[in-house]
Structure formats: C-alpha cells, structure tokens
Structure 1
C-alpha cells in the first residue's frame, strides 16, 4: 500500500482512506466494524469521519453517531493505535451548537466531544468541515459572493480559532489540523497566520475531487504545491456516478440517488454524458470504471489520500480489489480527451 506524508506533518497515511459517513444510517454498526477490519487487513489504516455523520440525510438527532460507532470499534478491538483517525467540527449549521459555527469555545467543545465518542486520547487530524465565512463547494459556486464577506470579522475569527488550535495541540488533544471545503485564499491565509503567530499549520484540505469535479486543478493545485498542503479527496466516484450504476436513469434500491434524488446537484444531463464517456473508455480498455476513476485520483501530484465510502461490504471488497491498479498511458490520454470535451459537468 503506497504511503504518503500529509503536508509537512509527521502523519504517514495510505493513499486510500476509508470514509465512514454512512455508518449508523445506510451501514449498520456491525457492518461498519467489519469494514474497518477488512480495510486494516488490506493495509488501509486511515479513517475519515465527522461529528455531523451519518449523512443521507444529516440530522441533528444523529450528530456524532458515526464517531460513536468508530469509538465502539476502538474499545472492542483494542486496536485504536493501529488506525489514523481524521474527524471534523461541523461548522456553521443548524445541526449543532445553535448555528454558532466555529469559535474558540465551540472548537474546544467539539474536540472534547469527539474524543469522548471516539474513545481515544488524541485525534490525529482535526478538520474544519466548512469555513466560518462560507464556501463555494457543493454547487454553491453558481451564486458564490465573496464580496459579502466581512474581512475584519473573517480574519479575527481565524486568529481566534488558530489560538485555540494551538492550545488543543499543547494539551495533547489534537496532533494536526486541516480544513475542508476551502478555497485557495483560505488555505494560504491560514498558513500565513500560522507562520506569523506560531500556530498550527493546516496540513490538509478535504475538497471534492473526481473525474467529474476538477475545480482543484488550478488555483488549489498551485496552493498545494507552494504551501505544501495535501488534498484529501472526497467523492472520488462522484457519489456513485462514475461506477456506472446510474446508467440509463437507473436508481438501485438503497443507493444514494434513490434517497436524495439528484445527488446534491451532481446528476445533470451534462454529468450523465461525461459519465457515459468515462465508463465507455474503461470498458473499451477492459478495466473496471471504479478502479480507473480511483487510480486516476490517486496519481494526482497533490493527492494526500483518496477517501472512498462503501455502503456494503461487497462494495468495499470491490474497491479494495483495485487498489493496486495503475493507469496505462492510453487511459490517461483518453481521460484527457474526455475532460476537454466535458470540462465542468456539474
């Protein structure tokens, strides 16, 4: 299993990360524990979660449930030291803390709650799930209005939160920090502040990235290189589109599309056309479209780890079977040609 160092940190993780956002909803606790065991057996010891999980849908009454399931596995297995765990504070949301968002006080409260639920003494990587100032991710780029941000309030909040990050690190509660759904300006500003104030760096950014969602390839890719920040890519299969299972309008029972319809705005006519092209390319070369899409993401130069989720053990085994697959030059050329024809399908 290929190992990667995250940012400038001392965290070494596999190029593959097991996402757990369905644990406690579509995936039972027993199945979730079995997935962690299977991943470890395959050499994959990196788990990503968040206090807002499970999702599909996210509900206030289930906040923290996925962390609890992982914590029960830690307690039952006694193997907490064998895994690297990344989790997140929810950010401004109706789901938690009366929409107060991320402040020094809420960050401290959220870290303590996650430690308790995960049944660990220290969190390896703690991430801010959403920027306090707002974000263009999840199809919000169509109406993104950064000119409405309060510059002074944004910078004051960053300084306040970074000071608390430092205290949490000094207390031994968190090893390293990262962000999620961030921009190039946000990442650069966080690490400028870290240099100025002596606070913890943001070593990672967890943004959506797949053959269908390549917004990271320009400014964010440059930021990764210049700031030495690693991408943790979520939805590398475009919420299942790139598996081909939704071809021809199919909606398999229990799938995400059968639950939330358009996959959060991902299912569009242009996305379906692009998906058809990528799936056809894989089949033309006799490879699995899942393995092709994941292998492509894994070889990107800024990649820290590719986060995939599996509702069932069968899906997990399918993905694990392709973790050693590498792209041929013909596949890379085919992907580049399709990308030029379908550059931003959603």
Structure 2
C-alpha cells in the first residue's frame, strides 16, 4: 500500500490507517484482533487509538481499546511492524482519566496519561502522540462554518500552548514518544503550536487529525494552506460521517445494531440540511456504480492533501470495503461531481 511522509518526520504512513474506537464497546477483543490482523495483512502499517476510547466514552470501558491493541502486539510480536498513534485528552470535566478529578493539558496530567497508555499498549514508546482536543474553550472540531458566540469564552486557567509543548519536549527526550500530533484543532491553534516550536518551546507538530468527509470539507478553507506550507499532515477521521455516507440511514432508516440505534449520539451529522446532502452524495456514488461507503472512503483516501484516511468498522465486511478504497481509481469526473454537490450543499456537518 502507498505510504506518505508524516509531516517533516522520518515516518511514512500508509494512506489507510486503522481506527480502533469501537474496540471494547461495539467490538470484542477477538473481533478487534481480527480487524488488526486483516489490516496488517493488506499492507496497513498505521494504527490510531486514544486513552479516551472506546466510544462512547465512559468510566467502565475507558482504556479497553489500548489494552486490546497492546495484547495483540504482544501476542503477535509485531510492535516493530506498526506505526502506533494514541492521544491524550484535552480539557475535560470527566474525572475517570485522572483518578477522580478533571483533566487539562498540564504536566501532571500529560505525564499520567502517557504512562497509563504505555502500560496498556505494552510498549516503551508511541510513534505519534496526539492532543485529542484543545485545552482552550472552542467548538468541538475547532473548525466551524460560522463563529458562533463572540467574543469567544476563555477559561481563567487556560494552559498556554508553550507550557504544553514543553511537556512534550520532555516526553521526546525520555523516549516515550517520537512525534507530536494535534487533533480537532483550528488554523490558529496549529500555527501557534508551530510558532512556539520555532521559538524553542518544544517539538514541531507533525500532523493534524481532524474530521474530513464529503459533508465536512472545512479543512480546505484555511487549514489546507497551513498543512501545505508548514508540512503538518492531515489524518482524516470520520470519512463516512459516522455512517451517514453509507446510505444505511437514508430516508430515516434506523438499522438494528447501528451506532445511531445503539447510542443516538450522531448529532454532528444530523444538522439542518444534512439529510439531503447525505442522500445526494449517496446517490452520486450509485450513479458511478459504486457502493456509497466505498465511494465516500475513496474520496478521502485520494485527496492530495490527506496523508492517511482513518477508517473504522464494526465488521470484517465493513473493513474490507474501507480497505478497498485504496485501490479505487478516483477520476476527475468523480471529483467534479462531488464538487458540484458541495457547491450547492456546502459543509452542513462541521
């Protein structure tokens, strides 16, 4: 499988990354291991997880995903065959991460997080350690289509980015992490991390993991230029818009066992105008003779500024479809068709 350089690092990641947020909730450990085996067999070298996982987050299951991956690597003896990425939570009121208190991006909390993640993953280092979401009070995803409340609220105890970077510098020096990545971050946030790194505060950010799909192309507005000029690679998550770009929810359908039926927490993709946009793209896929899930994944996988498409699945059949997107020939006609819909529909689901 084609590999792409991650930022300015010496890491080359496959254009497909296996996301694992279902391991420990929708997927058992055996099912997770089967997905990992298949992905590795198909040439994937990049695995993404987080201390937060599985989703939906809750105290009873938190950390299970990392444990499943750690057990898999130990059983297979294949740690050297994968580029392993995990994440530390940003500012959160949820108290189960730090043993009964809220968490922020301060030294004590980051150190606690990495040590727990390394123990669960049964490794002495992670290749890419990402900040899951900012310490700042910003909209989820950090790239909205409109500004919302203005002036934006700021926490009285907001952690300076330079202070956070200094902790990551110590983690690199200690050999616990190789590189720093961001997630759910804005153009201002990415540039501030870059600027502070250039001032010597800490390591240079290598990647940005943000949502990117047919109904959310907000990355292209400002972040794409930042990514290009500053060599901050996009790791695109939610290529299927939490399942809405598979067609399974079209016309109000609610399949048994689907994430919406189980958890009803897909509101990011249930905004005004979203249902019509989903249907338009799903029909576009069928017009090209393709399964909507394959089409939506192929769109993300083959955009020139995407370093890796983080796919997710709850079944081997779904995983097979997602992996197959690497082999799709994405044509100029396909791009023109989705661009035409986007011109009319915009980004209904930031």
Q: Which runs of 4 or more aligned residues in structure 1 lie more than 6 Å from their structure 2 counterparts after TM superposition?
A: none
RMSD of the TM alignment (CA)?
1.8
Matches within 5 A, 1:237-316: 237-261=240-264, 263-268=266-271, 270-316=273-319
Question: Are the structure 2 counterparts of residues 302 and 321 from structure 1 closer, same or farther at C-alpha, using a change threshold of 3 Å?
Answer: closer
Measured in 2, the distance between the counterparts of 1:324 and 1:263 equals 29
Do structure 1's residue 131 and structure 2's residue 130 form an aligned pair? Answer: no
Check the 8 A contact 1:7/1:228 in 2, yes or no.
yes
Check the 8 A contact 2:162/2:202 in 1, yes or no.
no
Matches within 5 A, 1:92-111: 92-93=91-92, 94=94, 95-97=96-98, 98-111=101-114
2:237 pairs with 215, 234, 238, which one?
234
Measured in 1, the distance between the counterparts of 2:181 and 2:22 equals 22
Do structure 1's residue 67 and structure 2's residue 72 form an aligned pair? Answer: no
Measured in 1, the distance between the counterparts of 2:302 and 2:52 equals 30
Give CA deviations for 1:70-117 in whole Å, capped at 9, x if unaligned: 001011111111111110011222142211311011111111111100
Measured in 2, the distance between the counterparts of 1:305 and 1:134 equals 28
Aligned match of 1:147 = 152
2:160 alignment partner, SS class: helix
2:179 pairs with 176, 180, 205, which one?
176
Check the 8 A contact 1:169/1:175 in 2, yes or no.
yes
Report the alpha carbon displacement of residue 177 of structure 1 after superposing the two structures with TM.
Answer: 0.5
Aligned match of 2:88 = 89
Report the alpha carbon displacement of residue 261 of structure 1 after superposing the two structures with TM.
Answer: 2.4
Give CA deviations for 1:192-243 in whole Å, capped at 9, x if unaligned: 1111015201111111110011111111111111211011111011001111
Check the 8 A contact 1:84/1:124 in 2, yes or no.
yes
Question: Are the structure 2 counterparts of residues 145 and 67 from structure 1 closer, same or farther at C-alpha, using a change threshold of 3 Å?
Answer: farther
2:130 alignment partner, SS class: strand
Question: Are the structure 2 counterparts of residues 8 and 248 from structure 1 closer, same or farther at C-alpha, using a change threshold of 3 Å?
Answer: same
State the TM-score, normalized to the length of structure 1: 0.94
Measured in 2, the distance between the counterparts of 1:144 and 1:295 equals 35
Measured in 2, the distance between the counterparts of 1:182 and 1:268 equals 21
Check the 8 A contact 2:143/2:218 in 1, yes or no.
no
1:189 pairs with 192, 212, 236, which one?
192
Unaligned runs of 5+ in 2: none
Higher share of residues assigned helix? 1
Unaligned runs of 5+ in 1: none
Measured in 1, the distance between the counterparts of 2:329 and 2:310 equals 17
Check the 8 A contact 1:136/1:144 in 2, yes or no.
no
Question: Are the structure 2 counterparts of residues 133 and 328 from structure 1 closer, same or farther at C-alpha, using a change threshold of 3 Å?
Answer: same
Question: Are the structure 2 counterparts of residues 12 and 140 from structure 1 closer, same or farther at C-alpha, using a change threshold of 3 Å?
Answer: closer
